[in-house]
Structure 1
Amino acid sequence: MIQTVIFDMDGVIVDTEPVHHFAYYQHFNELNIEVSDEMYRSFTGNSTRNIFQKLKVQFDLQEDVEDLILRKRHLFNEAFDLKEDLYLIEGVEELIKDLHANGIQLIVASSASNVTINRVFTRFNLHQYFTHIVSGEDFPKSKPHPAIFEHAASLSIAPKENCIVIEDSTNGIQAAVSAGIFCVGYDSFHSKDQDLSKANIIIRNFNELNFEKVRDLN
């Protein structure tokens, strides 16, 4: 019986990707580097730190990684505050409330920074439903490395066999699989170019899940 659901955030709870894309490319222009769409897509599920570590090597950037992170974060926060058309993914709020009301523990494990996760959770009043926030910035390696989900599972009220992960990215699903946790792949418009084939099950809308269905998974 499932007792804990571990949610990814970007693309699963909220689509902040357009804001990240805008902020990153503003920053790339400032740095005078050309990042192809293909390279950018390969970063899906990586933390900002890991992305800039890779870019620093790729483009021989002289700037310190921490300074790069702070500048991108500033650009993101600026854009986030100005963007009015930012919504939760369709159906996810209803699922979160249903699971919480029925005693399922909810944890978020996202590659986003703690600042960004808390910004999103405050905007949409989500803190009340989640017992823990786990940020990828606290781990040296990003998804597909399993560390973030292994840690999230260690915070669960139950063994990892009684946990599931909901993910929408190739890297995130691989991280869940490597951590040995049942994975629900969320296949949406925002998941294009992502390989969800390693997920245990795939859904296309959150109305396919509710407390009873989640409880009996795996």
Structure 2
Amino acid sequence: MLKTVIFDMDGVIVDTEPVHKYAYYKHFEELNIEVSDELYASFTGNSTRNVFQKVKDTFNLSHEVEDLILRKRFLFNDAFDTKEDLYLIEGVEDLIKSLHAHGMELILASSASKGTIQRVFNRFNLHQYFSHTVSGEDFPKSKPHPAIFLHAASLSQHPKANCIVIEDSTNGVEAANAAEIFCVGYRSTNSKLQDLSKANKIVNHFNEIDIEAFKRGF
């Protein structure tokens, strides 16, 4: 029986991807490098640190990774704080409230930084529903490595067999698979280049999720 739902954040709970993309490409422009759509798509599910390590290696940059992270974070925070049209993904607030009302434990496992998670959770008042929030910046390897999901499952009050992951990226789905946790793939409008075929179940809208089916673990 399902008792714990582990949520990804970007593209699943809130659509911060356009803000991230703006900040990354603004920074790439400053660095005078051209990042293809395919290369950028491969970053999905990675921590900012691992993204810039890949960028540094790919373009032979002399910059320190830490400096690259700080500049991108500044650009993101500036855009995030001034962007009024930032909303939760359609249907996810109802799903979160319904799962919580049905006694499900909710845990966040996101590649986003702790600061970004805090900004999102404060803006949309989400702390009340989640027992734990886990940031990818605490792990040396990003998704598709399973570390973040294994840690999230270890924080659950229930065994891993009673957990489920909701993801919208190729790397996230593969991480859930590697962690041997049932995965629901959410086909986000911003995940066009993402392969969700390895998810145990795929939904196009959160209203397709039946809470009773969740409780049974599908």
**TM-score, with length taken from structure 2:** 0.98
Q: How many residues align?
A: 218
Alignment correspondent of 1:67: 67
Matching residue of 1:155: 155
Task: Please name the residue that 1:112 is paired with.
Answer: 112
Deviations 1:77-116 (A, max 9, x none): 0000111111100100001001111110000000100100
Q: 1:145 to 1:64 in 2, by over 3 A?
A: same
**Amino acid paired to 1:126:** L
Cα displacement (A) at 1:210: 4.0
Counterparts of 1:34 and 1:201, CA distance in 2: 36
Tell me if the contact between 1:95 and 1:210 (Cα under 8 Å) persists in the aligned partners: no
Question: Aligned pair 1:143/2:143, yes or no?
Answer: yes
Q: Distance in 1 between matches of 2:66 and 2:18?
A: 23
State the partner residue of 1:184: 184
Structure 1 stretches of 4+ with a deviation exceeding 6 A read none
Give, in whole Å, the separation in 1 of the partners of 2:188 and 2:32.
Answer: 33
Which residue of 2 is the match for residue 103 of structure 1? 103
Gaps of 5+ in 1: none
3-state DSSP class of the match of 1:68?
Answer: helix
Task: State the Cα RMSD in Å.
Answer: 0.8
Query: AA paired with 1:203?
Result: V
Please name the residue that 1:90 is paired with. 90
Question: Structure 2: how far apart are the matches of 1:26 and 1:62?
Answer: 18
- State the distance in 2 between where 1:65 and 1:138 align: 16
Percent of residue pairs identical: 74
Residue 39 (structure 2) aligns with: 39
Counterpart CA distance in 1 for 2:12 and 2:213 is 18
Tell me the residue number matched to 2:212.
212
Deviates more, 1:1-10 or 1:184-193: 184-193
The amino acid of 2:94's aligned partner reads: E
CA positional deviation for 1:211: 2.7
> What amino acid maps onto 1:7 in structure 2?
F
- Alpha-carbon separation, structure 2, partners of 1:83 and 1:213: 37
What whole-Å deviation, never above 9, does each CA across 1:175-195 have from its counterpart, x for those lacking one?
A: 000000000010131221111
SS at structure 1 position matched to 2:71: helix
Distance 1:13 1:205 in 2: 12
Amino acid at match of 1:111: S
TM-score (norm 1): 0.98
Aligned equivalents of 1:33, 1:197: Cα separation in 2: 32
Secondary structure at 2:20 match in 1 = helix
Q: What does 1:12-31 correspond to in 2, within 5 Å?
A: 12-31=12-31
- SS of the residue 2:190 aligns to: helix
Q: What code does the residue aligned with 1:118 have?
A: Q
Q: How far off its partner does 1:212 sit?
A: 1.4
